[in-house]
């Protein structure tokens, strides 16, 4: 079984990533890890993130504005400096993300610093097709990108 890691990210950055809008995450550190990365929405918000959401006119779906849960997953493709994404900070490591997938059920998890091993039952957040989570995800994603 392949190793999967998780990372805690403040809101609204976590929601922007899982909505497929934010394609890089900026960190002061790098890792050798590549592959599936679970996005855990931390318990805190970032005012700068909300300012950026307002500036861009993005309407994030309420379903993605959860705290203390695994929101979804992305592929961590690479970690570089000076990526050409509008989201990249040139003074930090730019974690290049792709293939954002929302969870169908949000699994509660305590966040940690750095990359961490998710709880053993994390997969139920992606396999429970009868969950009330994000039904009609493509419509939710379209609303986030177009602002409604």
DSSP string, 58-101: ----GGG--SSEEEEEEEEEEEESS-SSTT--TTSEEEEEEEEE
Q: CA 46, 51, 53 angle in degrees (round to 5)?
A: 95
Other C-beta atoms lying within 10 Å of the C-beta of residue 45? 15
pLDDT less than 70: residues of the chain:
1, 128-148
* pLDDT of amino acid 27: 96
d(CA 95, CA 88): 8
* pLDDT of amino acid 2: 79
* pLDDT of amino acid 71: 94
- The predicted model scores a pTM of 0.84
């Amino acid at each position: 079984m392949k190793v999967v890691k998780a990372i805690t990210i403040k809101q609204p950055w976590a929601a922007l990533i899982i909505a497929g809008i934010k394609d890089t995450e900026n960190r002061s550190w790098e890792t050798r890890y590549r592959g599936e990365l679970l996005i855990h929405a931390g318990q805190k918000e970032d005012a700068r993130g909300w300012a950026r959401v307002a500036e861009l006119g993005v309407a994030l779906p309420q379903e993605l504005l959860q705290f203390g849960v695994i929101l979804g997953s992305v592929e961590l493709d690479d970690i570089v400096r000076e990526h050409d994404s509008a989201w990249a900070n040139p003074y930090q490591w730019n974690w290049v993300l792709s293939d954002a997938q929302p969870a169908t059920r949000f699994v509660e998890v305590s966040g940690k610093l750095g990359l961490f091993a998710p709880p053993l039952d994390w997969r139920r957040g992606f396999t429970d097709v009868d969950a009330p989570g994000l039904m009609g995800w493509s419509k939710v994603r379209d609303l986030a990108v177009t602002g409604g």
